[in-house]
Structure 1
């Protein structure tokens, strides 16, 4: 594993046949220096919008590998600007959070391979905004799935239904040419095994767009101590379905390094980016 300490080293160090990388720095600056259409799978688990103001970056034009034509964010021009303006009127916090996240999604689109898939992991407070904006950025025809990850631990609300799920929005670069192979995905038990044959019950069923999976156990082998760590089972399903052995996987909100750990175990290549020293320490120890 390599660790690039300076952002300006990235163009010199990342090549398709080079080593897996863990890169330190502001992810927008780092990803902006990666080549177009280099990653088959991008998984992003950005910090959820807790009301704090993020550093703003102005939207910039992006140059596509296929056409060489500059396309301004958002990619749908006036329609996108109208949608963004409408959302600002609904929620004052929207502009701060999306001023932070939007340019990173533009860069994700740029470095996503022609047959690539983006998984954006959010909570209930931002998922509806993200769906509308990603439809405008990627194109509605590029929307593949809304995955609901449901779990069963944590605080129990008494004045409303307890919130026990995250949302993962799935978009592809080309709706007619993306990679997806659910035959490679770990199967899960039938909820009513008596309604299917014994052979089917033993084999298990393919997952749907609702994933029941526990959080990382506080006492389990996966636990790293990172507060927003995601379980390997969730990332394993994503990596198995939307990449092949040898494909490049990118996570530029790397956190505890779960994406890299799963990619490594499944024979994929990976680039992880984070600027948090605690995260980088955990990733280095986990992947070494």
Structure 2
């Protein structure tokens, strides 16, 4: 394999197989937006011969915490056996994502409320609690409203770093946002805006807006822009293993980053091709990694 590739890359194929061909530590930022498991079922995928976060190769990913991880994993499965199929699908992909992170790299795992609590416990055990950086709440207010409970209008983005003492994070590079109570700060501060917290109020992709591609799980550029700005530098490589509509690539290119996108769906790859072409991004499309 030749790394880095000569240009930005879009791989059409299984993301686990594609990830296995990419070199260790190649990416400063990995963003994962996997299926949310809303139907509570997922085809089981084998974890045979997947290299774990600790560098071992085994049928079961062991992780930094060894048997403690296996006990926590087993405990969680014991009171939600349907989750096991979902985690068996996601677990080896997270292990590969961790391997692909640079020493100063950051992993962003985008989930909804159905899986976030499971994922955080397992990621703490798999990678170490000291590597947990943030739980970001992306809140929005669009769509139907339940009258039998508080309407669920947020996603959760779990943020883990490769090295808790040496990760890259640049808060000053992030676009500022308006103060919710500008009268409580000086006019200078109000004009400059404030740095975002771990709660992000951002609309979903507008059905009539310029970003709309028609892809059903498309995420807004504003959310990815904040992630890419904070956790990568110009020229750094960004990876998205569940590329979907290609938002990560579009944002990375606009900010001067390099990217690799992977998706198994022909529809997703077609959307990405059109989107990047419209933006003038000369990415290479391939059925395999370089």
Query: Structure 2 length normalisation: TM-score?
Result: 0.91
Deviation of residue 135 (structure 1)?
0.5
Contact 1:60 1:103 in 2 (8 A): no
User: Within 2, Cα distance between the matches of 1:70 and 1:166?
Assistant: 32
User: Within 2, Cα distance between the matches of 1:207 and 1:44?
Assistant: 21
Q: What is the count of residue pairs matched by the alignment?
A: 273
| 5+ long unaligned stretches in structure 1 | 1-10
User: Within 1, Cα distance between the matches of 2:256 and 2:50?
Assistant: 34
Contact 1:232 1:262 in 2 (8 A): yes
**Aligned positions of 1:40-189 closer than 5 A:** 40-49=28-37, 50-62=39-51, 70=56, 73-75=61-63, 76-189=65-178
Q: 1:30 corresponds to which residue?
A: 18
1:243 equivalent among 220, 223, 232: 232
What SS does structure 2 have at the residue aligned with 1:262? helix
Q: 1:5 corresponds to which residue?
A: none
The higher-RCO structure (CA 8 Å, 6+ apart) is 2
User: Within 2, Cα distance between the matches of 1:138 and 1:261?
Assistant: 29
1:129-168 per-position Cα deviation (integer Å, ceiling 9, x unaligned): 0000111111100000000000000111010000000000
Deviation of residue 74 (structure 1)?
2.6
What SS does structure 1 have at the residue aligned with 2:90? helix
Q: 2:187 corresponds to which residue?
A: 198
| 5+ long unaligned stretches in structure 2 | 278-290
Q: 1:6 corresponds to which residue?
A: none
What SS does structure 2 have at the residue aligned with 1:167? strand
Deviation of residue 61 (structure 1)?
4.8
Contact 2:202 2:222 in 1 (8 A): yes
1:214 equivalent among 183, 188, 203: 203
What SS does structure 2 have at the residue aligned with 1:28? helix
What SS does structure 2 have at the residue aligned with 1:96? helix
What SS does structure 2 have at the residue aligned with 1:249? strand
Q: 1:232 corresponds to which residue?
A: 221
Q: 1:16 corresponds to which residue?
A: 4
Query: Structure 1 length normalisation: TM-score?
Result: 0.92
Deviation of residue 52 (structure 1)?
2.8
1:46-104 per-position Cα deviation (integer Å, ceiling 9, x unaligned): 0011223224122535278xx9x536523121001000000001112111100100000
What SS does structure 2 have at the residue aligned with 1:121? strand
User: Within 2, Cα distance between the matches of 1:63 and 1:160?
Assistant: 40
What SS does structure 2 have at the residue aligned with 1:137? helix
Contact 1:148 1:211 in 2 (8 A): yes
What SS does structure 2 have at the residue aligned with 1:130? helix
User: Within 1, Cα distance between the matches of 2:179 and 2:220?
Assistant: 21
Stretch moving more, 16-25 or 208-217: 16-25
RMSD: 1.4
Deviation of residue 242 (structure 1)?
0.1
Contact 2:52 2:96 in 1 (8 A): no
Q: Which 4+ runs in 1 deviate beyond 3 A?
A: none
Q: 1:4 corresponds to which residue?
A: none
Stretch moving more, 133-142 or 224-233: 133-142
